[in-house]
Amino acid sequence: MHIAIVGATGNVGKRITAEALARGHHVTAISRNPDNSGDNEQLRSVHGDAHKPMALAQSLAGHGAVVSAVMFLQSDPAQLVDAVRASGVKRYLAVGGAGSLEVAPGRLNIDEPDFPAFAKAEAARGKAFLDYLREVRDLDWTFLSPSSIFTAGKRTGVFRLGKDALLTGADGKSWISYEDYAVALLDEIERPQHIRERFTVGY
């Protein structure tokens, strides 16, 4: 498959790119500062700006799926969705956040007293992004939320999937590595199970 990744040079974007390439897909890595040093027949790095939807749409055209892995504070859901629409691509996946997950029925993670203050602005924008997507009917979108702790680690391929509830392990820790998150995202691209839905991944 040909996959376009917006924000491909970020922490998550790099892992998604690597996982896609390892599975034999062709990747267009889109970022404001593209790195062409590792380009090969499967990888093409191009410049793109999430705030310039019409120009971005030209880079997205012709792909089987688009992934956005950009910070919520550095993007606008309407502009990204407009770019995907204009490109003609129907499959759109967004790297989500954990703030909008429920810790109990009707209680969001972002509203918990121990939710990190430094992460609240990004998390609030992530919730707004998801709310926006839930009104989109003309794209086959998916929003994949990580667990609370989202960090570099190992690719194990062993994790759990959920829907709208925060996943917590037996040790009380809620986390997922960038590497295993990328596995879950590519699994969803290859075998769609969550069309116009949010789901989550954790250990």
Which H or E element spans position 63? none
Between CA 81 and CA 85 the distance in angstroms is: 6
What are the beta bridge partners of residue 124? none
Domain total in the chain: 1
Chain position carrying tokens 């491909």: 8
User: Residue 168: which domain range?
Assistant: 2-202
Mean pLDDT by 10 residues, the chain (203 residues): 97 97 98 85 95 96 98 95 98 97 96 95 97 98 98 97 96 96 98 98 98
pLDDT at 149: 96
pLDDT at 36: 81
Residue 136's CATH number: 3.40.50.720
Between CA 192 and CA 203 the distance in angstroms is: 21
pLDDT at 101: 98
Between CA 64 and CA 67 the distance in angstroms is: 10
Token pair listed for 189: 């691209």
pLDDT at 189: 98
Chain position carrying tokens 């989109």: 136
pLDDT at 35: 81
Strands 26-31, 2-6: parallel, antiparallel or unpaired by DSSP?
Answer: parallel
Which one, of 162, 50, 161, 144, lies nearest residue 96 by Cα?
144
Token pair listed for 96: 């989500």
User: If 0-12 CB within 10 Å is exposed, 13-18 middle and 19+ buried, where does residue 45 land?
Assistant: buried
pLDDT at 39: 81
